[in-house]
Every structure is written in C-alpha cells, then in structure tokens.
Amino acid sequence: MSKIVSACLAAGMFASGAAMAADNADPHQWLEEVTGEQALDWVKARNAEAEARLANNPAFARTESAIREVLDSDARIPGVYKMGQYYYNFWKDQANPRGLWRRTTLAEYRKAQPAWETILDLDALNKAEGENWVWHGADCLRPGYERCLIALSRGGADADVTREFNLATKSWVEGGFFRPEAKGGLAWIDQDNVFVYTDFGDGSMTTSGYPRVVKQWQRGTAMDSARVVYEGQADDMYISAGHDDTPGFERSFVSRTLAFYNNEVYLVAADGSLRKIDAPNSAEKSAFRNWLTFELREAWTIAGTEYPAGSLLVAGFDDWMAGKREVEVLFTPSQTTSLAGYTWTNNHLVLNILDDVKNRLEVLTPADGWSRAPLVGAPSFGTISVGAVDREQSDALWMTSADYLTPSTLSLVQIGQQPEQLKSMPAFFDASNQVIEQHFATSADGTRVPYFIVHAKDMALDGKNPTLLYGYGGFEISLTPGYSPSMGRAWLEQGGVYVVANIRGGGEYGPRWHQAALKANRHRAYEDFAAVARDLIARNITAPAHLGVQGGSNGGLLTGNMLTQYPELFGAVVVQVPLLDMQRYHKLLAGASWMAEYGNPDTADWEFIKTFSPYHLFDAAKSYPPVLFTTSTRDDRVHPGHARKMAALMLAAGKDVTYYENIEGGHGGAANNAQAAHMQTLAYRFLWERLGGDKAQAE
C-alpha cells in the first residue's frame, strides 16, 4: 500500500458512496488534479501494482507481442483518400511509431507493395522539435492542394495546434497560418483567408471547453484582429465554420452546436450576414451542389405532412432558402431498419441501411424523381461502408467490408459494375473453427435486444466458457461486426467467447433506439445489457464466474453500472476511460457537452442521474467482482479523475481493484502502437485470468 493511500486512510479521507451521498462530500477530489504531484504519485503506485500483478509473466509477454505484431504489421490495409492526382495515407508501424504522412498514385496503390513518397515524418519532426506530436489530420486547399493546414496534438489530447504546410516543398510555411494549442480548428476559405475557432482568451470558450466564437482571419494579420463571424452562447457546445468549395456551388456555413444532435446551420452571405437554414435543430442538415438533405431525429411536419424520425428528406437548396417547402423522401425507417449513413458521388446518392444490425447498400439516382437499386456486388453479411473517391469527378466508391471472422477488404467500385478488390487484410488468427451467430434477448420491459456472439463450432454448453461481453449504448453509435485481429489472437484463439450487445442508447435502430435510453430512461440501456448477460447464462454458454464485461468512455459508464448494479452477473469487469462520478461529470473537461444525453445534476435531474452514477452507487458492504480501471493522463475529453476516484473508493473498502493509467494517449488511451498493445493486453489478460481462462485452457 502506498504512503499516500496509507496517509489518506489515517486521515479518514475515504468514504463509501452512501456516505458521500449523505453529506455531499467528495474525499477523493484531490485526484482530479490531473498533473498534481500527489495525484501522479498515487497513479504511479497503482501502475506499479498493476504491472506486478498482470504483466510480469510469460503469458502477458506472449499476448502483448501477438497484439503488437498486428498493430505494426505492414499487411494492414493502408486506407487512402484522393487529393488531385495522388492518394494519401497516414501510416504507423514499428519503425514509425508516430507515423508517416505519405502518398502514392492509383497505379502504384493497385500493387501488392506500392511505392510511397513520404510527405511528413512525425517521428523525425518530434526528434527535431523535442515534442511528442500525435497526428490529428490535414486539410489541403483545392484545386491545387499545395497549401495544407495540419493539426498536431501533444500526447494525443483533443487540444491541438494547427500549422500551415507547403505540400510542394514538403516544408512548414514560414509566417503562415498558425493556431496555438487549444480545442478548435482552422478551415480554408481561400489561400489568404481561413475560418478560425479556438481559444481567443477569456470568455471565448463554452462551458464544455470548446470554441464559442468563430472568426474570419486574413493572411498577414494577427489572429486576434480577425473579424468575428459568429458568437455563440457560453452554454452552447461548439461553434465552428467551414467552406464548401464545390465548383459552381461555393458556400460558407456556420455551425452552432448546442448539444449532441442539436444544432443550427447558417449560410454566410457575401456581405457577412447569416441566414439560418430553416429546419429543426434535431435534424442533420447537409448540402451538396443544389441538394439540401435533412436526416431526421424527431418527427417533422412540413406543409401538413408528418415525416417520422429516422427519415432522410431532400430538397432543392436554392428553393428551400427561397421559402419553398417541397421535399422528397429518400428513406423511411421500419421496425428493423435505420439509416447508417449516405454518400454522394457525381451522379448518385448511396444509402447505407442497417436491417437488424446488418448493412445493405442502395443506389439512388435523381432524374424524374429518384430511382433506386441495390449496389452491385456488395457483400450480403458483415459491416459494409462506402465513401466517394472523388464525388465531383466520378461515381467511384471505396467499399470496405468485414465481419468478426472475415478480414477487412477494400474494393474500388464503379456504380453498376462488379467491385474490384484492391486490398485484403490477411487472416491474423485462425477462424476456421469459429462461427458467428445473432440472438435476441428480452429486456425488462419486453424489448427485443439483438446481440452477436462469436464462438468455437464445438463449444460445449456447460456454462464454463470464458466469455467477454462488450457494449457501448450511447450517443446513437451503432456496434456492427468488425474484424479485430487483437481480439481474435488474445481471446478467440485462446478459447474464449466474444459477445457484442446492441443495446438501447446506440443507433442500431436509428434515433428511436438512442432516445429510448436518454436521461431518466438511462436504466433501459443497463437493463438491456443485463438481459443479454442473463440470456448467455440461460443458454448455458457461460456462468457469472466466467462472464466478463468491457467498455470504454460511455461504455465505461455502462460497465461501471454493471459493476455496481449487477455484480452477481459477472466474474470480472473492465472499465476504460470512463465516466463514473455523474454528480460532477459536467464540471470536468468536456462533460458539460453531454448533458443532453445524461441530464444536469445541478437540477432535479440528479434524482434520476444518481441511479446510474457508479461512484455514488458503490456500497462498501457489498461484494463486487474484480475490476480493472484504465485511463489516460492526457485524456482531455473524459477526465481521468473518474477512474482514479472510483478506484480509490473501492481500494479503501478492500475490494479487488487493479488500476492503470497511461501517461499519454488522449481519449483513445494510447499514443502509439506500443502503448496500445500494452493497454489491450492488460485488459485481455486481466479478464482471462479472472474468468478462469487459464484453467479452462489447461483442461
């Protein structure tokens, strides 16, 4: 036990969740000092304990090496995007842990081993500048693609800097556009003007910690003197702006995000005045050429006709802005379908539809009305995604597909023709004896909840299989089948069973699935997850002693609630970069931006929020399964204090707690492949050991 923990115990600084609720005191708040000396000493002591407990053995080393081999493999598919005549990619491997920004031609890319031209070497840059930059992307100005705005983050945090780069000379532009470190960004208008939304000083950021003001900044002038385009309110979430440089349809827009799935979009006129696009804040609004699309998250009545939530509508952009209210319906959801996304090509609109969590693609073509047909050659199962190669020049698509057992493939698709497979990831684990099934559990209120299960064909139904149940259940994010070599090597090949639950709060059945678990109804997500756990047990696939759960961020809140509300169902719990203290979450980093999802604990909302706040639900008198908490010091989205405080609370009560905090990594938890492999191995080995995997393997 560390000196800090011993001193805190002697001083009576630790308390149970019940005691905190009674006097509203938080004896662990000192752990919210992210880089405070006392807090970091506590972190280092816990890290050392975690390493000693989990990492100092041959099995850990083998698993870590197997995962690292995957992450560093040159056999991974290098995803590319087209700018001008070149195809660009950002690549990390063992020799380039921070990564290379590079490019090639399509003719080279078709080859098994393309020749790449390096544009920027981040490892070399870090060495030259004495920094620890992590790539956050590049925005290059059309049509010449010579000047680029490159975003770089220290250690993987959300806050970053933006620097101007000359692609022709492969060098930074001396005296070019530069945005100091903050959350925000730069966006091109033309070569001498950008939109800038960032920290301009006192009062310029929202309570969520994001930009409140967007300005137009001219080259050669001071950023502080830039002209204000729009100012939001302090309690908004995020203000930004962008320029659509589609030839013949050049327009600038301001986006005012009030909360997740709640935004206003304004067209910027030539004189700088703003015209709001007249549509509900809940609708996603997007323009391409003279089309204006609305993706509905709530029902909307237009000219006497009601369109249900989940629909996709289209109107003429100029007509709509002129006051006409005529729309066409491109998609209407059913009880089993939702719109996963859509992409424009030169002459078509491609819809990606989920039907009971399985993708299918439709091609819509505007003419007299809109004709539709299936996308030729699309796989019949698995997760499929498409994106335009160059939507203003061709109808070509990139198509990727995968499932839990089938490695990812990348194909080039010309609409109406069979796909041309360009790349395929090799099989990183032996799936020949594995099978994928989809089942449905029944939640507490009778709702049908889908889940996928991956297991050996000869799995014994004896209740002894080490089983990992994964979930998220928030922010309308869907979990669809994907190929994970790390999971395959560290879990399936060892004899484990892998399960993914598509619980409410996610987007698997569109907005209604998400909205069913908001705020006071948050319990439904947790009831769904528990129902899947019980279904696995009822099928005799596993038993509580052999059933573990894993989730991160909002999924960490999910697994934190599994730990505190359903401890009898699980033999081990992994809680990653989590929210856990739901009384203070809105006061920590970006937490205020999530109140539309969870509620405001400073109001009467606390009455329902406290029912899913693991930090307050913990009871020192109860028994809990072993738990691993992981987080990152550099996570400036979800505060590491959540995981720190919960671990301290449980440790003080003598519970079986393992804690590990990566010093870098941001919200993703790792800044390079070595860190990622180590963090993943900690979770897999913790679960395998606690769920009896070593014993099952021996048998």
Q: Where does a domain end: 409, 427, 445?
A: 427
Strand boundaries in 105-172, DSSP class E: 117-121, 133-140, 147-154, 160-166, 171-172
Q: What is the CATH number of the domain that holds 568?
A: 3.40.50.1820
Tens of pLDDT along 367-423?
888 999 999 999 988 899 999 999 989 999 999 999 999 999 999 999 999 999 999
Residue 637 is assigned to a structural domain of this protein: yes
- What is the C-alpha separation between 9 and 620, in angstroms, rounded? 14
Whether residue 557 is predicted with pLDDT greater than 60 in this model: the reply is yes
Whether residue 582 is predicted with pLDDT greater than 50 in this model: the reply is yes
pLDDT attached to residue 663: 77
Residue 172 is assigned to a structural domain of this protein: no
Tens of pLDDT along 53-102?
999 999 999 999 999 999 988 888 999 999 999 999 999 988 999 999 99
Q: Tell whether 556 and 637 lie within a shared domain.
A: yes
Q: Tell whether 556 and 683 lie within a shared domain.
A: yes
Residue 566 is assigned to a structural domain of this protein: yes
Q: Where does a domain end: 395, 427, 459?
A: 427
pLDDT attached to residue 669: 54
Q: Tell whether 392 and 522 lie within a shared domain.
A: no
Residue 260 is assigned to a structural domain of this protein: no
CA atoms within 13 A on the CB side of 640: 29
Q: Tell whether 650 and 519 lie within a shared domain.
A: yes
Strand boundaries in 368-461, DSSP class E: 369-374, 383-388, 396-402, 409-414, 420-424, 434-442, 448-456
Whether residue 162 is predicted with pLDDT greater than 90 in this model: the reply is yes
Q: What angle do CA 156, 240, 161 make, to 5 degrees?
A: 30
Q: 26: domain range?
A: 3-68+434-698
Whether residue 440 is predicted with pLDDT greater than 60 in this model: the reply is yes
What contacts 663, CB < 8 A, 6 or more positions away?
155, 632, 633, 634
Whether residue 268 is predicted with pLDDT greater than 80 in this model: the reply is yes
- What is the C-alpha separation between 682 and 665, in angstroms, rounded? 15
Phi, psi of 10 (to 5 degrees): -65, -30
Tens of pLDDT along 507-533?
999 999 999 999 999 999 999 999 999
Q: Tell whether 422 and 460 lie within a shared domain.
A: no
pLDDT (average), residues 226-237 = 96
Tens of pLDDT along 558-570?
999 999 999 999 9
Marked catalytic residue, from 255, 553, 593, 613: 553
Collapsing DSSP to helix, strand or coil, 205 comes out as strand
Q: Tell whether 592 and 645 lie within a shared domain.
A: yes
Residue 135 is assigned to a structural domain of this protein: no
Quick one: pLDDT band at residue 6, thresholds 50, 70, 90?
very low
Q: Tell whether 407 and 447 lie within a shared domain.
A: no
Residue 251 is assigned to a structural domain of this protein: no
Record the tokens describing residue 591, joined without a space. Answer: 């937490």
Please state the pTM of the whole predicted model. Answer: 0.87
Structural domain count of the chain: 2
Q: How far is CA 7 from CA 26, 42, 491, 650, in A?
A: 17, 11, 40, 16
- What is the C-alpha separation between 657 and 480, in angstroms, rounded? 31
Look at 134 and 663; give whichever has higher pLDDT: 134
Q: Tell whether 347 and 477 lie within a shared domain.
A: no
Q: Tell whether 538 and 627 lie within a shared domain.
A: yes
Look at 13 and 633; give whichever has higher pLDDT: 633
Q: Tell whether 370 and 447 lie within a shared domain.
A: no
Whether residue 667 is predicted with pLDDT greater than 90 in this model: the reply is no
359: region left, alpha or beta (phi > 0 left; psi from -120 to 50 alpha): beta
Strands of the 251-259 sheet, one edge to the other: 238-244, 251-259, 262-268, 274-276
Residue 617 is assigned to a structural domain of this protein: yes
pLDDT attached to residue 14: 32
Q: Tell whether 452 and 400 lie within a shared domain.
A: no
- What is the C-alpha separation between 576 and 332, in angstroms, rounded? 36
Q: Tell whether 390 and 527 lie within a shared domain.
A: no
Q: What is the mean pLDDT of the chain?
A: 93
Residue 141 is assigned to a structural domain of this protein: no
Q: Where does a domain end: 427, 447, 465?
A: 427
Tens of pLDDT along 409-430?
999 999 999 999 999 999 999 9
- What is the C-alpha separation between 633 and 449, in angstroms, rounded? 35
Residue 667 a catalytic site member: yes
Per-residue DSSP letters for 76-104? S----EEETTEEEEEE--SS-SS-EEEEE
